Amino acid sequence: MPAFKRKEHMAGGRKEKIEMSIPMEERKQWKALNYKTYKDAVEHFQWKERWEVFDGTKENFNITHECVDRHPADELAIRIKFDDRHTESYTFGQMSSLTSKFANMLKRNGVNTGDRVAVLLFPSLAFYVTMFGVYKSGSVLIPCFPLFGPEAINFRLENAGVSTIITTRDKVDLVNQDLAKKLNLKYIFVEDIVGLLEGESEDFTPTTSSKDLCMIQFSSGTTGSPKPIRYTHGAISVAAVVIKFAGALKPDDSYFCCSSPGWGHGIWYGTISPMIFGKAAQTISGKFDPEICLEALEEFEVTNIAGISSHFRLMLATGKADKYNLKLRFLTYSGEKMSKDLIDEIKRVWGLDAYTQFGTTEVGPIALDYGGFDDWVVKPGSVGKPMVGGLKVIIVDENGNELPQGQIGQVALVKKDKLEMIADEAYMDEDGYFWYVGRVDDVIISSGYTIGPIEVEQTLMKHPAVLESAVVGVPDKQRGELVKAYVVLEEGYTPSEELKKDIQEFVKDKLSKHEYPRELEFIDALPKTPDGKIKRKVLKNRATA
């Protein structure tokens, strides 16, 4: 992508030495939130402390200043490994200059404070300059995953009322032209950026506050239409706490996130969170490739990695995960439950515990493994304990009554005298750890038994013929619901009644008679959201049609 002057480092090439003016651990952002133990944080942490991380005040606060402008100009800010295996690196100084030019360019082109600006790009210099340039200008970012089809893109453009889209010329056909006319949509093409930025000033002073809108992010739509979630500039203060307490970010870390910044995890914990603390946002660009990701981990000397379960499953499935010279010390996952087999494999191959973060796009972090605390004990497979200093988290029945330890129910947040229901089912153990069961709509009730689809799926995956699986409940007059499995076979296996019965008996032997899939259908591919989550609702509709 030739739009910006760039600094390139080829794989295996020399590493750039970056001089530090002040030792990282002595800088303002690292002196805040310094709790050594979970016990100490529970007893003393107050949410007002999060503002000590930042330079700005609630009245004068901008994401781009906090993530880019205030850090030493010669230090690494962005590093990307592309699908052709070349690497690009950019400093905070370069990013500060280019985002100011971009903000000035937006203003000159009539994009005003509060206007909605969509970005439809893979991770690249253009993407990050657009992202932080929009934040700096006071406009509102609408991130769109670049592998979206027309329906998903047009839904977001119309719902958010987008006035400008930053993309490449080959994406124009994805936008409905009638909708473009209705929105009076302006296009800014990456191919034209060099000319557009020529002559723009490298100075721009943001005028936003912590309460000003900075981004509208859409949920992934696993159970229905994607929902727009509105974020203010001040929302990054929560991310700062999470990455210190749960993400275990340290001053000497090389941090890496597998998730695309077209999604919440890649935006908040792949980009914004590390950059708050002056650490580079490092990732890969293009469709996820496990071997390219492994190469990046070695090349970037990554010590702290974040991703979703599928990223780690795919990397380990290459059979090459132990062939790279990796320096990983900490691993955290989010977005979907991780199977016990995968947790064990990560421990065997990399010698790491898998820490997790459980939350929703709508309400943020709910329960966490606190990897940043010396006394935290991981219970593999659990989702940890509620957010320190946050709302009380309880498990309730269908009438909103709190359930005792060990009983499965719906997750709820206690807000004063009201409950905010979360569309997930879980239970709490005797030590206060929460264990995720599944989405409320996904949980199967058969003959009075509560069955979590994930447990059945994990058992199915142990069969040598099963590549992927998804489990849903289908109506049944006698039992209420039956367990039905959709199975994608490994290469070399052919669907047959004999194989179906073999898989069913395999699960029955390992679980119980009420949990095994009484119905099983072979399928070429599971329906998924672009970020890899299974669309069980689509399968359930298919099963009940």
Helices (H), 287-339: 290-299, 309-317
pLDDT for 254 beyond 60: yes
Q: For residue 224, give the DSSP letter.
A: S
Number of domains composing the chain: 3
Nearest to 11 by CA among 216, 296, 330: 296
User: Which has the higher per-residue pLDDT, 53 or 221?
Assistant: 53
Condensed to tens digits (0 to 9), the pLDDT of residues 323-374 reads 999 999 999 998 777 888 899 999 999 999 999 999 887 788 899 999 999 9
The span from the CA of 23 to the CA of 495, in Å, is 61
Q: Which two tokens stand for residue 233?
A: 């500039």
The span from the CA of 213 to the CA of 419, in Å, is 26
Confidence of residue 242 (pLDDT cuts 50, 70, 90): very high
Confidence of residue 7 (pLDDT cuts 50, 70, 90): very low
Condensed to tens digits (0 to 9), the pLDDT of residues 434-443 reads 999 877 777 7
The answer as to whether 339 is a domain residue is: no
The answer as to whether 305 is a domain residue is: no
Do 434 and 484 fall into the same domain? no
Which of 287, 314, 338 represents a domain boundary (last residue)?
287
Condensed to tens digits (0 to 9), the pLDDT of residues 116-169 reads 999 999 999 999 999 999 999 999 999 998 888 888 899 899 999 999 999 999
- In this prediction, residue 417 carries a pLDDT of 82
Backbone dihedral angles phi then psi of residue 164, each to the nearest 5 degrees: -140, 140
Cα-based angle 287, 86, 268 (whole degrees, multiple of 5): 50
Distance of CA 47 to the CA centre of its chain: 23
Q: Do the bridges between strand 330-334 and strand 409-415 make them parallel or antiparallel, or are there none, so unpaired?
A: unpaired
Do 448 and 435 fall into the same domain? no
Nearest to 174 by CA among 148, 142, 192: 148
- In this prediction, residue 289 carries a pLDDT of 93
Nearest to 342 by CA among 315, 367, 378, 306: 315
The answer as to whether 76 is a domain residue is: yes
The answer as to whether 338 is a domain residue is: no
Mean pLDDT on 213-230? 78
The answer as to whether 425 is a domain residue is: yes
Mean pLDDT on 88-98? 97
**Range of weakest confidence among 274-283, 296-305, 316-325, 447-456:** 447-456
Do 34 and 151 fall into the same domain? yes
**Range of weakest confidence among 8-17, 18-27, 63-72, 513-522:** 8-17
Do 283 and 397 fall into the same domain? no
Q: Which two tokens stand for residue 516?
A: 């095994």
Mean pLDDT on 80-86? 96
Average model confidence (pLDDT) across the chain: 90
- In this prediction, residue 225 carries a pLDDT of 65
Question: What CATH number is associated with residue 195?
Answer: 3.40.50.12780
The span from the CA of 63 to the CA of 139, in Å, is 12
Nearest to 4 by CA among 63, 90, 78: 90
Condensed to tens digits (0 to 9), the pLDDT of residues 394-419 reads 999 989 999 999 999 999 999 888 99
240: CB partners within 8 A, 6+ apart: 29, 33, 50, 53, 54, 273, 276, 277
Domain around 395: 353-439
H-run or E-run covering 159: helix 150-160
Which of 244, 259, 287 represents a domain boundary (last residue)?
287
The answer as to whether 247 is a domain residue is: yes
Do 451 and 432 fall into the same domain? no
Confidence of residue 263 (pLDDT cuts 50, 70, 90): confident
- In this prediction, residue 532 carries a pLDDT of 72
**Model-level pTM?**
0.81
Is residue 533 within 8 Å of 222, Cβ to Cβ?
A: yes
Do 47 and 189 fall into the same domain? yes
Nearest to 206 by CA among 69, 395, 78: 69
Mean pLDDT on 83-90? 96
Would you list the DSSP string of 377-392?
---TTS--EEPTTS-E
Question: What CATH number is associated with residue 375?
Answer: 2.30.38.10
Do 453 and 435 fall into the same domain? no
Which of 439, 465, 481 represents a domain boundary (last residue)?
439
Condensed to tens digits (0 to 9), the pLDDT of residues 466-525 reads 999 999 988 887 777 889 999 999 999 999 999 999 999 999 888 767 788 999 999 999
The span from the CA of 122 to the CA of 146, in Å, is 6
- In this prediction, residue 285 carries a pLDDT of 95
Q: Which amino acid is at 362?
A: E
- In this prediction, residue 471 carries a pLDDT of 92
Do 410 and 464 fall into the same domain? no
- In this prediction, residue 336 carries a pLDDT of 74
The span from the CA of 137 to the CA of 111, in Å, is 9
Do 143 and 194 fall into the same domain? yes
Q: Which amino acid is at 310?
A: S
pLDDT for 11 beyond 50: no
Do 507 and 485 fall into the same domain? yes
The span from the CA of 27 to the CA of 30, in Å, is 6
The answer as to whether 340 is a domain residue is: no
- In this prediction, residue 448 carries a pLDDT of 62
The SS3 of residue 102 is helix
Helices 290-299, 309-317: inter-axial angle, 10-degree rounding? 90
293: CB partners within 8 A, 6+ apart: 258, 284, 311, 315
Do 509 and 468 fall into the same domain? yes
- In this prediction, residue 519 carries a pLDDT of 94
Condensed to tens digits (0 to 9), the pLDDT of residues 478-488 reads 777 889 999 99
Q: Which amino acid is at 413?
A: L
User: Which has the higher per-residue pLDDT, 179 or 542?
Assistant: 179
Number of H helices, E strands in the chain: 17, 25
pLDDT for 111 beyond 50: yes
Question: What CATH number is associated with residue 459?
Answer: 3.30.300.30
The answer as to whether 325 is a domain residue is: no
Do 60 and 120 fall into the same domain? yes
Nearest to 62 by CA among 203, 209, 202, 215: 209
- In this prediction, residue 72 carries a pLDDT of 96
Residue 430 backbone class (left: φ over 0; alpha: ψ -120 to 50; beta: rest): alpha
